[in-house]
Structure 1
């Protein structure tokens, strides 16, 4: 490979050189292992989402539209024997990947990289006839570019991503660029074409996050749309469409358009030429979710589970106060009338009161699982009555820790006057508290066996673990018998 561009080269060209190096050079073993886990987790999340078969579910609606459109049988979809054009397959798979809000999260950018990048890579890789090793390299490069763009948006003064402060969904916006990089690698784009794919993708990313606060199903499409748009950007670059070289840092470029002047180049560019050292990989700071809800709710769930384990009877709770950082409070605590009585089961995943009440009552899986957000659970009067007794408030300690870690404190007063408190400084699965391999495997199997037999779920996991030696991607994803 040619020498990497110098420090005065446009940012897109430097990212493209990094992506080409991921394809052309061996990646650190820890990165390959990490990416394999990302694919396993994402596919498990997709399969579990298939259990939501209401015709109004976004992935079901999108599948109807995609199948009506026809086209080349290029790429597979989890749970289906059908194959569709790669961009439409990625649209469905990416929507499935984000449908349950169970997808991984990078800190401090607070975005979900794998739910866009993995579906784009699976579809583009199958369409291109790539092997498993190329898929791993593509996901590694795409996730890395995605989370670095997100990290560039973190403002220490705000203690938050500027994307989120302005109401943009960083997951879908940055995920479009990461998906373009992943797809471009698998389509065999040159380094210059990869830079063009980045330039094109920067005009395609979109997403606003008001649905986190007040409901709506459109957010579940965001990762699918990012995967779809990323593949389209790579295909356009392959056909000769070009992007502006300074698309990221230019006066009217991506960073200024979305982030004004509150962006930082170092998190985006530092160490791109030293990726043989795992310490320079941002994707390794991406954490898995143990619970299928907005990640900001997780430390409160941890606190509630801990108090329950210590013997708290939820029926004795007179009031509870959940303390979190100011930025998460806007998502999981406001507006209060929506949070104590969410409008849909999915909306409940963004409610601090609902998730605390569910954990106090005792949930499934690793502490809370999908059945805790079922229509039956969502309408449970006991759960809703307990949620109405939970207030979400700002906490200064949590502010200091956010967003390097998601923390919370839960203070409970019981009817007999007892006062109980539990604080977590990093949610389960987060920094210093990673999920074990056994827990990740348990999460995958709980998800996959909602639609597959145990034997089929285990066989799929074995295929994913063996990606390094897999000669083709066709047949990787299972249909449902």
Structure 2
């Protein structure tokens, strides 16, 4: 940090406090609305397809407290912090939530936190919610692409709590000074090691966004009550950047702040799996379809992998036959096998029964890996290359480019709407068709909403 310069937290806090809907670029506003609809859809799907969330939701309901904010899909209300925990956990546990072009997930922390606070507060307009979400997405993207990541800390939760705090603070109308404090308080919830993501076994990998969403609500509410944070929390001698990263680009983080909203580049997933697997998934589907190949003709499937791909392949036998639904979405050999068998990947392909699908497991046994350092994850999501060796000796190879949902083939409103409807159909509590249609319409036109709680009411049963 240059001598006598203000800590970055001061700049970010000013940006959040001053962000308005009118000053939000149209593309960033559209992105915010898409992310709200997309995140709510994924939450609904998770409620009915991921058994692990039931224990967390049960605990939230058991703890009870002041009924401020809704638990989506399951119904009932809890204090805003706890509703954010429950909804945030569901928002990421299918790995179906949106991501930046460089990976990692912002909206699964931002949206649950912002809506929990909005419901507690009441009377938050759609325009204010859009501005809040867009501000949080911008901060997340700026931080994500301008740090030197050593792949040790989980960036989605380490940075997600700041993005969600920005959104929650903007919903509350915090001043610049209060936002500085909120960011400082949020550092107490900025955590998460990569072993939680890369290791096998356990359920928490899928739920981490709940913790950053809860921490954000806590930080914003404490700041609103006058609790202060350290004003050098990001760039101080023992601050955020020195603790977590080898280096960061201060000038790039500040470049265009308040004018260009980097979150406008948010990407939406067509497939409910970790984003770094999508290129291999796309490649195997295209190889089979374009060449008219049958799986019983395939002798071996070679996945060319970089460093992060390799994490999803070790230990290989466990990744071929994952034991949990959470592990399945992060196991590249299994995911490629699912895509090969079904020529696509859907939420319905991840059930306790589907983990035992003999067709998928048989194909997964044919998967081997080939190390390729040129595919290491540096900033942009790395491509994947798949090679098929047939029983008759023929070989086919393809790099997965033009992946649906990536920057070169972004999902449209119509596709995101269809995804929302598909996700809603998997909710733990079935929704009426008119509810789903109304929710989609309201999200697409959220700038006209007098109170965003209207959207929540469509998707949260009263009890």
Classify the TM-score, shorter chain.
over 0.9
After TM superposition, give the deviation of residue 152 of structure 1 in Å. 2.6
Q: Per-residue CA shift, 1:437-475, capped at 9, x if unaligned? A: 332222111111223233321111112122111111333
Q: Is the 8 A contact 1:49 1:100 kept in 2?
A: yes
Q: 1:335 aligns with which of 294, 311, 315?
A: 315
How many Å separate the matches in 2 of 1:435 and 1:470? 24
Q: Per-residue CA shift, 1:23-50, capped at 9, x if unaligned? A: 3753111111111001010000001011
Structure 1 residues 433 and 426 mapped into 2: Cα distance closer, same or farther (>3 Å)? Answer: same
How many Å separate the matches in 2 of 1:236 and 1:480? 29
1:47-196 aligned within 5 A = 47-52=44-49, 54=51, 57=52, 59-108=53-102, 110-129=103-122, 130-153=124-147, 155=148, 161-162=149-150, 165-166=151-152, 168-196=153-181
Q: Is the 8 A contact 1:125 1:131 kept in 2?
A: no
How many Å separate the matches in 1 of 2:308 and 2:57? 35
Partner-residue secondary structure (3-state), 2:420: helix
Query: 2:299 aligned with 1:318, yes or no?
Result: yes
Q: 1:17 aligns with which of 8, 14, 23?
A: 14
After TM superposition, give the deviation of residue 394 of structure 1 in Å. 2.7
Structure 1 residues 76 and 475 mapped into 2: Cα distance closer, same or farther (>3 Å)? Answer: farther
Structure 1 residues 221 and 53 mapped into 2: Cα distance closer, same or farther (>3 Å)? Answer: closer
Q: 1:34 aligns with which of 20, 23, 31?
A: 31
Query: 2:371 aligned with 1:394, yes or no?
Result: yes
Q: Per-residue CA shift, 1:245-264, capped at 9, x if unaligned? A: 110011100111111x3222
Partner-residue secondary structure (3-state), 1:101: coil
How many Å separate the matches in 2 of 1:372 and 1:322? 21
Partner of 1:253: 239
Q: Is the 8 A contact 2:33 2:444 kept in 1?
A: yes
How many Å separate the matches in 2 of 1:349 and 1:70? 32
Q: What value does the CA root-mean-square deviation take over the aligned residues? A: 1.9
Q: TM-score, normalised by structure 2?
A: 0.93
Q: Is the 8 A contact 1:325 1:402 kept in 2?
A: no
How many Å separate the matches in 2 of 1:374 and 1:80? 19
Partner of 2:380: 404
How many Å separate the matches in 2 of 1:221 and 1:321? 31
Partner of 2:418: 442
Name structure 2 gaps, 5 residues minimum.
none
Q: Is the 8 A contact 2:70 2:460 kept in 1?
A: no
Structure 1 residues 402 and 436 mapped into 2: Cα distance closer, same or farther (>3 Å)? Answer: farther
How many Å separate the matches in 2 of 1:302 and 1:7? 50
Partner of 2:337: 357
Q: Per-residue CA shift, 1:38-88, capped at 9, x if unaligned? A: 10100000010111363xx1x222222211222222112212441211111
Q: Per-residue CA shift, 1:282-304, capped at 9, x if unaligned? A: 11222111110111111111011
Q: Is the 8 A contact 1:197 1:237 kept in 2?
A: yes
**Which has the bigger relative contact order, CA under 8 A and spacing at least 6?**
2
Q: Is the 8 A contact 1:406 1:426 kept in 2?
A: no
After TM superposition, give the deviation of residue 425 of structure 1 in Å. 3.6
Query: 2:187 aligned with 1:202, yes or no?
Result: yes
Partner of 2:446: 467
How many Å separate the matches in 1 of 2:13 and 2:305? 39
How many Å separate the matches in 2 of 1:392 and 1:351? 12
Partner of 1:267: 252
How many Å separate the matches in 1 of 2:337 and 2:48? 24
After TM superposition, give the deviation of residue 479 of structure 1 in Å. 3.0
Partner-residue secondary structure (3-state), 2:143: helix
How many Å separate the matches in 1 of 2:193 and 2:252? 23
Partner-residue secondary structure (3-state), 1:321: strand
Name structure 1 gaps, 5 residues minimum.
1-5, 156-160
Query: 2:303 aligned with 1:309, yes or no?
Result: no
Structure 1 residues 302 and 18 mapped into 2: Cα distance closer, same or farther (>3 Å)? Answer: same
Q: Is the 8 A contact 2:13 2:180 kept in 1?
A: yes
Q: TM-score, normalised by structure 1?
A: 0.90
Query: 2:415 aligned with 1:431, yes or no?
Result: no
Partner-residue secondary structure (3-state), 2:369: strand
